[in-house]
Amino acid sequence: MKTRKIFLVAIAIACFILPFNTPSVLAGGTIKLGEINTYSKLTNFTFPYRNGWKLALEEVNKSGGINGKKLEVISRDDAGKPGNAVRIAKELVSKDKVALLMGSFFSHIGLAMTDFAKRNKVFYLAAEPLSDAVVWAKGNRYTFRLRPSTYMQAAMLAVEAAKNPAKRWATIAPNYAYGKDAVKAFEKVLKAKRPDVKFVAEQWPALFKINAGAEIQALKRAKPQAIYNVTFGSDLAKFVREGKQRGFFKGKYVVSLLTGEPEYLDPLKAEAPVGWLVTGYPWYDIHTKAHDKFLKAYEAKFHTPPRTGSVVGYNMLMAVANMLKKAKSTNTEKMVDAMAGLTFNGVFGPVTFRKIDHQSTMGAYVGLTALKDGKGVMVNWKYLDGKNYLPSDAEVKKLRK
């Protein structure tokens, strides 16, 4: 009788302990992934982004999943608020028992998630947030970033801009982490290439609350020869429209971050600027084996061409899938170790997550804007590999202190 009682107590203890020792993310032959983004805003980016990861999810599961287990994505909308993102992250980890977190668009949300990952030791892949702090000043063991950072894309543009003779520059950027990082990086790289350059004016409109006329008048008073623009979305449309009406861009060299991305260029239609140096995604002219395969699959499933967000979403899910295959576990520490140094084949080519700062080497296309059939396109573009536009290891070590 005593032996039987001991046996029953042992069973009870085992039942109590089991849920904590055997991750529920593996239950039912699935691995749960938590995904958070701002779907209720910037839908021209986030909806294609969702299409992208859904396409990748379908491909991974059709090919047998991860070591025989299917992937399941539990997706949530943070409404563009850091507090919401953190609250949802807690719920996904504690209630839904996801193996990891991924996603985000805005930099301030990405930074909040970066902090959450560090404090709670949860794997987090920042898909889109561009703030340099995500992997440098606020970087940590548990956070990785997919997109080429603000520094990387600003450096790509600055290297090309240095070839233009303009000396007097003015900048305009949204007044939050991404905008500030974008201006700082561009100025640093451009001045290193061209010590004769001077930045004579800067404007910092609140995100999506730009008073374009007033901003342009302020910039105009400084008599710049060149403009570095970091506005996007509705702010970009207002800036372009007001600038054209006032003749502000005439005779000026304009460099504009992200403007060549279809999400931001397409809505401008016939008002799209001509001759601006931009980063973007000329999906209609890229002819590589990897991109052709992606383009065909994407258009067949969604009956619309891809956007930059589509590539980000697809690459994000594929990066996670490759990491899980390598880790052969959903243990956080093993996943982190597997992701550091991981190389996978993305839509634009091979991508590596650097061990030193967890930044991926995903690159970007740089070219000029033009009008074709009444809409904006990118011409004379080239793909720039992200690994060539990152600070040295010594600089990164100082930044991550």
Residue numbers of the domain that contains 127: 24-148+287-361
Q: What is the pLDDT of residue 267?
A: 95
Residue 28: what pLDDT? 52
Give per-10-residue mean pLDDT for the chain (401 aa).
38 35 52 98 94 98 95 98 98 98 96 98 97 95 97 97 98 94 96 98 96 97 98 96 97 98 96 98 97 98 98 98 97 98 98 98 98 97 97 92 75
Asked if residue 8 belongs to a domain, the reply is: no
Ordered alpha helix ranges (H), 175-288: 177-193, 212-221, 233-245, 262-265
Token pair listed for 105: 């668009």
Residue 386 maps to a domain: yes
pLDDT reported for residue 22: 32
The reply to whether 333 falls in a domain is: yes
Spatial contact of 299 and 283, defined as CB atoms under 8 Å apart: no
The pLDDT value given to residue 1 = 41
Both 198 and 261 in one domain: the answer is yes
User: For the chain, what is the domain count?
Assistant: 2
Tokens representing residue 175 in the block? 């007044």
The answer to whether residues 99 and 119 belong to one domain is: yes
Pair 72, 32: CB distance under 8 Å: yes
Q: Please check whether residue 6 lies inside any domain of the structure.
A: no
What the block records as the tokens of 223 is 């008599």
Residue 270 resides in a domain: yes
The answer to the question of residue 260 being in a domain is yes
Alpha-helical runs (H) found in 32-164: 43-62, 82-94, 107-120, 150-161
Q: Could you give the CA distance from residue 171 to residue 23 in angstroms, rounded to a whole number?
A: 50
Do residue 302 and residue 255 come from a single domain? no
Pairwise CA distance, residues 25 & 96, whole Å: 8
Query: In this structure, which amino acid lies at residue 283?
Result: W
The sign of the dihedral angle between the CA atoms of 39, 44, 48, 49 is negative
Q: Assess if residue 169 is contained within a domain.
A: yes
Going by C-alpha positions, the residue among 295, 104, 128 that lies closest to residue 116 is 104
Here the CATH number for the domain that contains residue 90 is 3.40.50.2300
Q: Is there a single domain that holds both residue 165 and residue 258?
A: yes
| pLDDT score of 13 | 36
Write the CB contacts of 255 (distance below 8 Å, at least 6 apart in sequence).
157, 160, 161, 186, 226, 227, 228, 229, 276, 277, 278
Q: Could you tell me if 224 and 246 lie in one domain?
A: yes
Q: Please state, in angstroms and rounded to a whole number, the distance separating the CA atoms of residues 268 and 282.
A: 16
Amino acid at 345: N
Residues 219 and 84 in one domain: no
Its sign, for the CA torsion 269, 367, 294, 358, is negative
- Tell me, what's the pLDDT at 401? 75
Q: Are residues 390 and 305 in the same domain?
A: no
Shared domain check, 214 and 144 = no
Distance, in Å, from the CA atom of 108 to the CA atom of 176, rounded to the nearest integer, reads 8
